[in-house]
Structure 1
Amino acid sequence: MPYALFSNDAQLSKAYPTEADVWKFARQSGLVVDAATEQDKAAPRPVLDNDYEIRPCPLEPQEDPARNQAEAEREAEMEFQVNQ
């Protein structure tokens, strides 16, 4: 089952093969913040900013989650090389 980033019912990202892939995309996009509750003070946990959520999604016709993931990784690598 592919996953994507949503705000309310609007899909904001392409579909990715796993939930972990969407977390990686969200982290690279600056959408992940560390939050701590009273119980988790010693170890804050990552949460999505602005009430975004990651959930399963239907695929668009001819959409390939694996290709989306590969493209996102290439773009991140290119950005890393430019910023060095």
Structure 2
Amino acid sequence: MPYALFCNDAKLSKAYPTEADVWRLARQSGLVVDVTISARRSSVHLQLDNDYEIRACSAEPEEDPWRNRADAEQDFNIPFSS
């Protein structure tokens, strides 16, 4: 099942093969913020900014999530693991 970035019910990104792929792209785009959970333990949690969320979705007709991943890797120089 592919994944994409959403805000409310609007799909904001292309579909990618894994949730981790969308997290990498969100970080690259500056949409991920560090949230300190416990000052005592210095525990930091990463979360998406504003009302963004990553959800499972269907790819659009003629859309290939694996091709989207390869294009992003080339365009943004983001190494994706297999």
TM tier, smaller = 0.7 to 0.9
Larger strand share, 1 or 2 = 2
Distance in 2 (alpha carbons) for counterparts of 1:10 and 1:71? 22
Structure 1 unmatched runs, 5+: 78-84
TM-score in terms of structure 1 length: 0.85
Q: TM-score, normalised by structure 2?
A: 0.87
CA–CA separation in structure 1 for the residues paired with 2:63 and 2:26: 19
> Which consecutive residues of structure 2, in runs of 5 or more, have no partner in the other structure?
78-82
Percent identical: 64
Post-superposition offset of 1:52: 0.3
| Shift in Å, 1:37 | 2.0
Q: Does structure 1 residue 29 correspond to structure 2 residue 8?
A: no
Amino acid at match of 1:75: D
TM-superposed deviation, 1:38? 3.1
Identify which range, 39-48 or 28-37, moves more after superposition: 39-48
Alpha-carbon distance, 1:42 to partner:
1.4
Show the counterpart of 2:75: 75
Aligned position for 2:8: 8
Aligned partner letter, 1:62: E
